[in-house]
Amino acid sequence: MILMVLTSVFIVAVALERTLMMARGFWAMRSVELRVLVPLRLGKFEDARQGCGEVGLPIRRVFAAALDRANGKVCGDAGMAIAREQRRAVAAYKSWLWVLGTAGALMPFVGLLGTVIGVMGSFRAIGESGQGGFAVVSAGISQALIATAVGLFVALEAVVLFNLLQNLGGAVARRLAYSADECLELIRARGPVASAAQAQPGPGGVSAGIPVQ
């Protein structure tokens, strides 16, 4: 009984923490739309990179990694970077959900174990008293039924919260995927970034690395 009650409290604590995490994720996606995607649509890549600083973690890393590579600040492919950070962000939002799934699968069996222990106690009471009757077995049967009910309640609680948070996590992941795809589309539409050597004027005011016609 104590184990099941503690498990129920832990399940609720995990569910509340994950709910707050996903609520911050929805708010971060709103910031992405305003601070990152709007400047990108206008071609203001530096403003979009600065706007990433106003987006909450871990979503910030997804767009910052892509824009750092698009702006030439970090070597690498923006598409691979945004896909990698996107997987990390989704994993961060869905972490600890396995606890709810595990509890939902195990708690009925824990309640069944309590039922078996209660029935065993009833038979032991019959053996010790040498007589049957409701008065002898009522205590053990009552404990068995309570254990079964608590186990089923905790399992239902865990399954409902698990499904709810899985759906919320999926919604965050979908919104992140849509925004990441648009970000990558705008980056690729911009074309390659000029290197620092090309951007720096050479002798006579001609950019280095660009052949003179």
Is the residue at 204 inside a domain?
no
pLDDT at site 170: 94
Is the residue at 43 inside a domain?
yes
pLDDT at site 130: 63
Is the residue at 30 inside a domain?
yes
Give the percent of the chain with pLDDT over 70. 82
93 neighbors 21 (Cβ within 8 angstroms): yes
| Angle subtended at Cα 156 by Cα 150 and Cα 161, rounded to the nearest 5 degrees | 130
Is the residue at 212 inside a domain?
no
Give the percent of the chain with pLDDT over 90. 56
Is the residue at 59 inside a domain?
yes
3-state secondary structure the chain: CHHHHHHHHHHHHHHHHHHHHHHHHHHHHHHHHHHHHHHHHCCCHHHHHHHHHHCCCCHHHHHHHHHHHHCCCCCCCHHHHHHHHHHHHHHHHHCCHHHHHHHHHHHHHHHHHHHHHHHHHHHHHHHHHCCCCHHHHHHHHHHHHHHHHHHHHHHHHHHHHHHHHHHHHHHHHHHHHHHHHHHHHHHHHHCCCCCHHHHCECHHHCECCCCCC
Cα first-last separation, the chain: 85
Is the residue at 196 inside a domain?
no
Is the residue at 121 inside a domain?
no
The count of structural domains within the chain is 1
pLDDT digits (tens, 9 = 90+) for 62-109: 999 999 998 888 898 999 999 999 999 999 999 999 999 999 999 988
Is the residue at 120 inside a domain?
no
**Does pLDDT of 168 surpass 60?**
yes
Q: Among 47-61, 93-107, 143-157, 181-195, whose mean pLDDT is lowest?
A: 181-195
pLDDT digits (tens, 9 = 90+) for 54-64: 999 899 999 99
pLDDT at site 199: 39
pLDDT at site 153: 92
**Does pLDDT of 12 surpass 60?**
yes
Q: Which domain holds residue 58?
A: 2-101+159-190
Mean pLDDT of the chain, nearest integer: 83
Of 209 and 129, the structure prediction assigns the larger pLDDT to 129
pTM score, whole prediction: 0.77
Q: How many residues does the chain have?
A: 213
pLDDT at site 193: 53
pLDDT at site 132: 59
